[in-house]
Structure 1
């Protein structure tokens, strides 16, 4: 059922008849508001992409005077819980008195040597953030997000990469009455609205911090003057058996966001995956390109670390801002039951720490959110957009 807050509400319905399910979830969300919605976000998990399209059209018709965006997913979040790989619809609605909401749809044009993104809204001085839902199969998400500062300045982007049970070709995006089968959709939030972001990467460092002393593309050749693979083997050999198991199940590396910090601990890094090793070159391949001189530190991730990280960040947010009204949650589809044994974990964490607020979102194939003021695409992350009554919002909390 919808959670009544007056200004924010959400609805969740589960059922194989997606149109009826969409109607139920939408009615729940809209009935929880004290007035008409200004912004509606919705998320649909279903087997048939055509039925997902019809369900999305139904949601949009039920909120004709609102800014509406949505996407398909392999799991949805709402009513304090997560639903994975089952037909379900989650709807989140908000009354944002005086806020300016500009929806948009992004497409790409291919030139001789690059993609050009078209459809971006014009920027204003009182823009606060943009919510972004992306089809990862057709849109150059990594390049667009990582270089967004060149076009959008310091505007935070938060959202996720949509997906579908049928995978490529089945992703559906929705914006103001239209169904999109590729590209990206979003909404720009401007004017008198207080928002902040929380980005929990959920990793713990192992071994020492090291400077990159030789690199080729995404291959780390040397760390602190020694072959990168030798450095990694040295670190792993010093770990206990439990941490070695974590290394085997998915080693990560953190790139320090502040090169001038005296120490680099958990929360000071942008996390990227370790993709493999090249024994002949004694190199380590990572999911990013870093420059010589950058500081890095290997990382591991497990449920306990991810749980602690998310709760600490949300607690810090609550201590600074106090009352929170609502939130959108974009959680990696590798979290949920796969990591925590429960699809409800991240939704419960948000409600545990920020209060019995309206929270909805989806399980994403990659999450978008700012770290240290820079927009990035993440994996295994929980990215949260928080709506607060505190007049000094517009902050980012990340680890």
Structure 2
């Protein structure tokens, strides 16, 4: 029977906190040895973070253990930011093949090669990935993985360290690693995924009629900046104010869809405008002929989007527990408290065991292709396949 437990403990003694968090998670498992342990550590000293991670791995004695350092952790129904804390997620996964992975990047001439990802063994497979954003080319790797392993969903987040580059820590079975670590889960497991990008569309869907790389030159046959001004003029004052705080662009992932609503777009930031050409600068390349729609983001829109994504996830079946990778720009920066996302996941899906961390970038699929996101909540809910228990 699939079973999942979680735990969270705070305190300046991170090693003791690790022991407490593991104890909470194992108690929920009723003494059963976990097949998979995930441990997330927030602290001000990289060496202490390593000690806490090693302690958690040793005490849990899981079949496979992964983890990382972060600017905040999630567990036991709470989110904790910029406070010494350890969160743990432990799962008993009968019959599931749990394959640990360690990815490293190597430069060969002008090419960047990534090694360590084993071939797929079955169609029912999902990957959990934790990466050091300073030491691993996560964006090109995820794009490459889409092409070489189509249909393999990846969920996870980018670690962060207390003193910037070089201080992010990754754990794999008690050993500190560089690059990226994770697991491939396959077999009698149901991995249900939700990616909440936290935006609400404004204005109509439009076709990109002229573009140069990440420069939107024309939208629906009109200069892009003029089209944007036209849309803004038709918005109520409160939505105009939201645009001033941050404008985003939704890029439709399925051009053949009859409609393009929330969840149908990959969200990218609008970084500015070119005063001479009137083009809009976007945080990604956009091809001519693509359908796009402007988007706004605030706490209310993010809450609405997360609840809608979770409701869809809940309709797909029951789960035993969930991993939650929430952007470090969410939490108290977007909501009244850092507990918002974990409470929403627990209540909407009816789960007790939800843990994860506040990430420096989130990994998750949109319309069948994996992407690295920002301001996103990426969720992996796990349960048994029908008939397994």
Tell me, yes or no, whether TM beats 0.5: yes
Displacement of 1:126: 4.5
User: Deviation digits for residues 111-146 of structure 1, max 9, x if unmatched?
Assistant: 232311111123202551000001111111111112
Query: Which aligned pairs between 1:279-298 and structure 2 lie closer than 5 A?
Result: 279-298=275-294
The equivalent of 2:359 in structure 1 is: 364
SS in 2 for 1:324: coil
User: Deviation digits for residues 58-99 of structure 1, max 9, x if unmatched?
Assistant: 112223342100000000000001000000000010000011
The equivalent of 1:260 in structure 2 is: 256
The equivalent of 1:348 in structure 2 is: 343
Are 1:241 and 2:253 an aligned pair?
Answer: no
The equivalent of 1:319 in structure 2 is: 315
Which residues of structure 2 form unaligned runs of 5+? none
Q: Distance in 2 between matches of 1:53 and 1:133?
A: 16
2:77 corresponds, among 80, 84, 106, to 80
The equivalent of 2:267 in structure 1 is: 271
1:179 corresponds, among 176, 181, 193, to 176
The equivalent of 1:30 in structure 2 is: 26
User: Deviation digits for residues 262-316 of structure 1, max 9, x if unmatched?
Assistant: 2222221111111111111111111111111111111001111111111122122
User: Deviation digits for residues 27-49 of structure 1, max 9, x if unmatched?
Assistant: 21122213110000010000011
User: Deviation digits for residues 234-257 of structure 1, max 9, x if unmatched?
Assistant: 212222221122111111000011
| Contact 1:254/1:297, CA 8 A, preserved across alignment | yes
Are 1:116 and 2:119 an aligned pair?
Answer: no
Cα 1:264–1:392 change in 2 (3 A) is farther
Displacement of 1:153: 2.1
Query: Which aligned pairs between 1:218-237 and structure 2 lie closer than 5 A?
Result: 218-237=214-233
Q: Distance in 1 between matches of 2:54 and 2:197?
A: 34
The equivalent of 2:37 in structure 1 is: 40
| Contact 2:160/2:359, CA 8 A, preserved across alignment | yes
| Contact 2:39/2:86, CA 8 A, preserved across alignment | yes
Are 1:102 and 2:99 an aligned pair?
Answer: yes
The equivalent of 1:396 in structure 2 is: none
Q: Distance in 2 between matches of 1:266 and 1:255?
A: 11
Displacement of 1:344: 0.2
| Contact 1:85/1:165, CA 8 A, preserved across alignment | no
Farther-moved stretch of structure 1 (381-390 vs 81-90): 381-390
Which residues of structure 1 form unaligned runs of 5+? 394-399
Are 1:303 and 2:299 an aligned pair?
Answer: yes
Moved over 4 A (4+): none
Displacement of 1:203: 1.0
| Contact 2:76/2:352, CA 8 A, preserved across alignment | no
| Contact 1:229/1:279, CA 8 A, preserved across alignment | no
TM-score (norm 2): 0.96
2:144 corresponds, among 141, 144, 147, to 147
Q: Distance in 2 between matches of 1:121 and 1:60?
A: 24
Displacement of 1:210: 1.2
Q: Distance in 1 between matches of 2:127 and 2:2?
A: 23
Displacement of 1:356: 3.6
Displacement of 1:319: 2.7
SS in 1 for 2:152: coil
1:67 corresponds, among 60, 64, 69, to 64
Equivalent pairs counted in the alignment come to: 387
SS in 1 for 2:203: coil
Q: Distance in 2 between matches of 1:78 and 1:258?
A: 35
Displacement of 1:363: 0.4
SS in 2 for 1:196: strand
